[in-house]
Structure 1
C-alpha cells in the first residue's frame, strides 16, 4: 500500500543542497554516501563549484532540471529555511534537514524552527529534522546520512531521536551481521515524528519489526491511536530514555523535548501494544526474536541444557518474566528417560549432562518441542569436547522448523560460537551468550502474542449532563478560582458518578435544614479553595447529630478563620454519613500530561494514598477492558475481592466510575487535575465522598 513517505525511502532523484568535496564537511560525507550506494540519481547543489565528485553541480534548487523526489539540506543554518522554501517552490515533496542550530539551541533557534515548520506546512512537505543525521534505506541503496556506515539489508526499520545513537547502532549491527530496511534520525521532529514512521512502516510489507529510540513523544494520544492499529499486525519495540527526572532534563536540553511523566509513557505504550525495552541490547534481542520466530501459543517454556548452572540461571530468568516453566506430560517424561542417561534430569529444566553428543541433545530438543504443554523452548549449551556448536546449531534449526514453535539459544562461549551463531541467525533463530537474554527474548514473543490476541474496544460514551458540568466549572472561573473542592460535587453528579446526599450551606440555619433532610448523623466540612487539607485544621466533623449541627457550623467557620483569616470561605458542606467499615477506600483521579493529555488514575485511597503509592494510570479515554485491568494492576486488588472474610465489593461500579471520569476529563480540557479521594466501594456500589480539582479557566 502506497504511503506519503514512500518517496522518502525510495526516491528516483535526490538533490543534496550543500554538496561539496571539502574534507571533513558534513556536505562531503552525505554526497559521498549517496554516490557510493544510491541506485537512483544524486544531484549536487552548490553555487560555488561546477562539479562535485565528477557530477555536475547546480547553483540552486530552482535550476535543477526535471523532477526531484527528495532534497537533503546540508547548508549553514542562516540559509536553511530559505533552501527548504525553494524546495517547496520547486515541487519537491520530501526534505531531510541535516542542518543543526534550531530548537535545540535556544530561543533564536526555536524561532527558526517555527519558521521552518510554517514553510513545511505551506508547501505540504514531508520533512525530517532539522538537526538530523539523515535517513537511509537498504531497499533503494539510499544513504542520505553523514554517518560512516551503510546498513546491511534486513527487515527491521529503526528510528532514533539521537543521530549519534544511529551511527553507534549501525556500527554494532554491522559487526553482528544484523540488517535493516529503513533507518531514520528523527532530529527535532519539526514536522515528521515517530507516529508518522510507525504508521508508514506498519504499511510496509518489507518491514517485519519497528524499533525506536525515543526521548519523548510529540503527540502521545495520536501515537497511541496509530500504534494500536500497527501493533495488531507489526511489532513495535522502543527504548524510551529520560525515565528519571535527571534523564528527562537531559533529553529536553538535547532535542527540545518536553518530557512527559514516566507513568504516562508506561501507560500509553502499553495501551498502544508497544513493547518497551530497558536497554539497547534488549531492544535488538527482542527485534531478532520477533523478526525470525513464530509466536507462542502460551506462556509455558521448556529449558534444555548440557550444564546445570546455566539451567538454574535460565529458571531464575523465567521467574522474573511473564513466562512459566512447562510441566511435561507423562509421555514426554517417558521419552526423556528413553533417550537420556540415568544421571540426566528429565524434569524442567532438562539437563542432558555434559557428555551429551549432538544426537542426545537433538532427541531431548525434539521431545520437549513435541510436548503439547510446551509453548517455547530455550536451548542452553556450554562447550564440551563431544559436541561442536555448529552441529548443535544445525540440529536446533531442523527441530525448530519441524515443530513450528519459538526457540531461543544460549551458546556460552567466545570464538567457538561464531559459525553456529551465523547458522542460527540465518534461520531466524536468535542466539545469545547469557541465558537470561534467551529467556527475555521468548518473553517478548509471549508479550507480543498477547498484544496480537487482544481485541480493541472503543470507550463507552455515557449519557451525561455536560452543560451542568460546564456551569460548575464556569461559576468557579467567574469567581476567579482555579482550585475547587467539595463545592464541585455537582460536577461528578452531572457525569453520573454517585455522591452522598448533601449540599453546601452558608449559615447555621441552612445547615440544620440540610441535616434534617438526611437520615441519621451527618458529616460537615469547611468549603474553601484555599484550605486543601481540611482535616489537619479540624475543618471536618464526622457523625454530627442534628442537635449539634448549628454549633458545629459556627465552630468550623471559626477554626477556618483562625487558621487562615484571608481564606475564601464558600460555606460548609453538610453530607450524608457513609458506613466506611463495609467498604474499601479507593482513589480515582486524573491529571493532564504534556504529551499524552488526560491520564486516569486508580488505587488504594484514603489518608495513606501518598504513603502506599499503590496506584495505576491509563491514557484517557479508556475502555471498559482498560478500566477493568486497572483494578487488577494494584497490589491491594485482593482487598476488593473479599480478603480476610470480607464481602467482595462491586467492581463493576468502580469500572463504570473510571470510565465516566475518563469521559469527564476528556470532554473538559480545562480540568488539569482531579482527585476523588475517597471513592468508597462497597458490595452495593461506589460513592465519591470528596473531590478536589484544579482548572485552567482559559480552556473553558
Structure 2
C-alpha cells in the first residue's frame, strides 16, 4: 500500500460514471464535489458533458493526471474500469458500485478479480460497495451522502455507509468536525488496519474513530494500533457481538474464547479504547481531541447542585477514576471563601445561590490543588448564574492550569451560548453528569495506554522437530485429536509434566509404575474419549500391586463405553498432590481474525462453571502473561491468600509464554487445553492435555 495522501487530498478527482440523470448516484457524487478545492472531471462514454462540464469517454482520455477515481458504474464494468485506472496511472480508486462479495457467488469472484487488479497496479482501493470518502481540509465530499463533514481533527472510518450519513447529520448539529471520513465497504484491498496506520502518521488527525463489524487481520491490526496509539488515540465501536464461535468449539478454551471474547482481548492489547455505544464513541472523541491528558486518575467535582453532584460522584465510582483528596491548604481556602452551608470536600457544592464569582473562586482553588488532575464542572440553571459567563471562566481556568476540564451545564436554551464558547475552546459539555465523567475516564484510559511499554515475546530454546513428530502422529492415524499421548509436545517446549509413560500391556504398566516412587495415576488413552473421568477412565493412587488389574479395568471400561474407540493404551503417571497447589488452566483457541488466543484461569473441573479466565492474542510477552495472572479473580489464591503457600508465579508466567510460542510456531494446532496445570510453590506440573489439529496443514 502506498501513501494515502492522494486518496484524501487529491489535486484532481475523476467520477467514472458521472451523469446528470436525476436521482442517480453518479450525479449525487459529481454534485457533492462541486465545493472541492481541486479539479473534478466527469468520465462516461455515453455523455459529452455532465452538468455543463466536459465529459471524457475513459480515464485514458483525461488530459491531466488523475489522483483519485471514484467508480460508480454497473457492476459488470467495474473491474475493467479499475484496470483502466491502473493503466492510466491512477493510484487511488474508490469503488462505490455494489454487487460484489456481499452477494456471494459471482459477486465474490468479481471482488477477487478487483483485488487482483488493484494489487497488479499497486492501487489504493476503497470498497467496493461503499459510500465514498471525505476530507474537510480540501472540501472534498466524494460520497453520495446528503451532508458534508464540518472541519475538525477526528478521522472516522465506518463499515456501514448508512451509519456515516446518520453520524454526519447528528455531528453537524452538535458542531463536531472531522478531518477524514471513509466508508470501508467490503474492504477488498484497504481495510481498517491501513487507515489506522495512515492516520497514526497524520499530524492533522488527533483522534481515530471507527465503527467496525469485523477486523480482517487481527494480529496486524493489533500491531498497527499499538504503534498509532503512541501518539494518537483510537476509539472503536465494535458491533456484531456473538458467541457463535464458542458453540462450535470442543475444548474448554474454545467454549470460553468465542468471537466476542477474541475482539475484547485483541482490542485491549491493541491499545484501542472500546466504546459501548455511538454516544460514548463521540463523547470520548470530543474529550480526546480537545483536552490534555490527566496526570493521574484523581478527579474533582465542582457544582451548585447537590443531586447532579452526587450523580457525578457515583459515575466516578463506576469508572476507573477516583475522587481526589484535597490538600489541607485547599480545604482551608474553600472554607474561607464558601458559605457555611457549602460542602468543601470533594465533590465541592457551592450551593444553589452560587453566582459567577463564587463558582470562579471554587474552580480556581480546586484546579490549583496538585492532588487534582481533572475536574468536572456541574451546574443546574439558576437566576443568579449566567451559563455563558461560567463557560468563559471554565475555558480561562482550563487554559491557565492546563488540566482537563469538562462541563455538565444542565438545561436547554440557557446552555446554547455557553456551548459555543466551550466548543470553540475544545471543552466538551454534556447534559448528563455520567457522560461528563466518562469522557474524563476516556482521557485517563488513553494516558494508561500511552504509558504502556510493549515488549516482544520471549523466544525460548525448544525442540520443534520433536513437537512436529508428535503432531504428525495424529496425521498418520488419520485423527485430528490428541490427548495425553501428546504430553511429549509439552516436554518439547519445556512445560513441566509428571514422570510417566503410555503403555499397551499390563506388564509394561507394572514396569513403568515400579520406576515411579509412590502410587500412580492411570488414564485411558484414546482420542475418541475426551472426558475420561466421566466413564471411569482415570484411576488415582494405584499401588504397584494393583497396576495390572487397573490396566485391564480401564481398557474394559473404555470398550464398554465406546466399542469402536481407538484405544492407544494407558498412561501410567506420577501422582501429583493437587492439594499442594492451585489447579489452573492454560489453553488456546485459534480465532479466524486474531489467530491463536491464549487463555489462562482457574482450572480443574470447574473451569466452564466459574469461567474465571482471561485471554490474550499470541504471541504473549512476559508482561502480558503477568497481567493475565492479575486479571483473574483467583489471583490471590496463587499469591498466598488466607495462609496458603504462594505458587511459583514465575513458573506460571513462563508456561503461558511457552504455550504461546508453541501455538504460534504451529498454526496447525486449532485448540489446546492444559487442564489442570497445577501451580505450586516449587513450580508447575501439566497434568493433562488435549488438542485439536488441522492434519491437512501438517
Shared fold, TM over 0.5: yes
Tell me, in whole angstroms, the C-alpha distance in 1 between the residues paired with 2:468 and 2:47: 65
1:247–1:287: structure 2 CA closer, same or farther, 3 Å change rule? farther
Tell me, in whole angstroms, the C-alpha distance in 2 between the residues paired with 1:148 and 1:303: 41
Q: Between 380-389 and 84-93, report the one with greater CA deviation.
A: 84-93
> Is 1:488 aligned to residue 486 of structure 2?
yes
Please name the residue that 2:5 is paired with: 6
Check conservation: 1:260, 1:594, Cα contact below 8 A: no
Q: Between 128-137 and 365-374, report the one with greater CA deviation.
A: 365-374
Among 329, 332, 347, the residue aligned to 2:330? 332
Tell me, in whole angstroms, the C-alpha distance in 1 between the residues paired with 2:369 and 2:575: 60
Tell me, in whole angstroms, the C-alpha distance in 2 between the residues paired with 1:578 and 1:375: 52
Please name the residue that 1:284 is paired with: 282
Please name the residue that 1:463 is paired with: 461
Please name the residue that 1:120 is paired with: 118
Tell me, in whole angstroms, the C-alpha distance in 2 between the residues paired with 1:260 and 1:358: 54
1:247 deviates by: 13
1:66 deviates by: 2.3
Check conservation: 1:317, 1:436, Cα contact below 8 A: yes
> Is 1:180 aligned to residue 178 of structure 2?
yes
Tell me, in whole angstroms, the C-alpha distance in 2 between the residues paired with 1:37 and 1:478: 67
1:629 deviates by: 0.4
Specify the SS of the correspondent of 1:410.
strand
Tell me, in whole angstroms, the C-alpha distance in 1 between the residues paired with 2:607 and 2:533: 15
Tell me, in whole angstroms, the C-alpha distance in 2 between the residues paired with 1:322 and 1:247: 30
> Is 1:398 aligned to residue 396 of structure 2?
yes
Please name the residue that 2:20 is paired with: 21
1:299-318 counterparts in 2 under 5 A? 299-318=297-316
Tell me, in whole angstroms, the C-alpha distance in 1 between the residues paired with 2:386 and 2:514: 88
Please name the residue that 1:255 is paired with: none
1:61-72 counterparts in 2 under 5 A? 61-72=59-70
1:257-406 counterparts in 2 under 5 A? 261-406=259-404
Among 206, 215, 218, the residue aligned to 2:216? 218
Specify the SS of the correspondent of 1:21.
coil
Please name the residue that 2:531 is paired with: 533
1:248 deviates by: 13
Please name the residue that 2:697 is paired with: 699
Tell me, in whole angstroms, the C-alpha distance in 2 between the residues paired with 1:451 and 1:372: 23
> Is 1:82 aligned to residue 80 of structure 2?
yes
Tell me, in whole angstroms, the C-alpha distance in 2 between the residues paired with 1:553 and 1:311: 71
Please name the residue that 2:143 is paired with: 145
Tell me, in whole angstroms, the C-alpha distance in 2 between the residues paired with 1:454 and 1:94: 36
Specify the SS of the correspondent of 1:180.
coil
Specify the SS of the correspondent of 1:463.
coil
Unaligned stretches of 5+ residues in structure 2: 248-256
1:578 deviates by: 0.6
Q: Between 239-248 and 336-345, report the one with greater CA deviation.
A: 239-248
Please name the residue that 2:562 is paired with: 564
1:260 deviates by: 7.4
1:27 deviates by: 0.3
Q: Between 667-676 and 369-378, report the one with greater CA deviation.
A: 369-378
Please name the residue that 1:31 is paired with: 30
Check conservation: 1:242, 1:248, Cα contact below 8 A: no
1:410 deviates by: 0.5
Tell me, in whole angstroms, the C-alpha distance in 1 between the residues paired with 2:677 and 2:245: 35
Please name the residue that 2:512 is paired with: 514
1:456 deviates by: 1.2
Check conservation: 1:487, 1:527, Cα contact below 8 A: yes
Unaligned stretches of 5+ residues in structure 1: 250-258
Please name the residue that 2:57 is paired with: 59
Q: CA RMSD in A?
A: 1.4
Please name the residue that 1:254 is paired with: none
Tell me, in whole angstroms, the C-alpha distance in 2 between the residues paired with 1:620 and 1:416: 53
Tell me, in whole angstroms, the C-alpha distance in 2 between the residues paired with 1:608 and 1:670: 28
Check conservation: 2:243, 2:260, Cα contact below 8 A: no
Among 478, 502, 505, the residue aligned to 2:503? 505
Tell me, in whole angstroms, the C-alpha distance in 2 between the residues paired with 1:699 and 1:552: 38
Q: Between 519-528 and 82-91, report the one with greater CA deviation.
A: 82-91
1:244 deviates by: 3.1
1:405-444 counterparts in 2 under 5 A? 405-444=403-442
Tell me, in whole angstroms, the C-alpha distance in 1 between the residues paired with 2:692 and 2:12: 54
Among 551, 572, 575, the residue aligned to 2:573? 575
Please name the residue that 1:594 is paired with: 592
Tell me, in whole angstroms, the C-alpha distance in 2 between the residues paired with 1:244 and 1:476: 32
Among 653, 656, 667, the residue aligned to 1:655? 653
Aligned residues: 689
Specify the SS of the correspondent of 2:56.
coil
Tell me, in whole angstroms, the C-alpha distance in 2 between the residues paired with 1:571 and 1:488: 13
State TM-score, norm by structure 2.
0.97
Q: Deviations over 1:255-299 (max 9, x none)?
A: xxxx97111111111111110000111000000000111101111
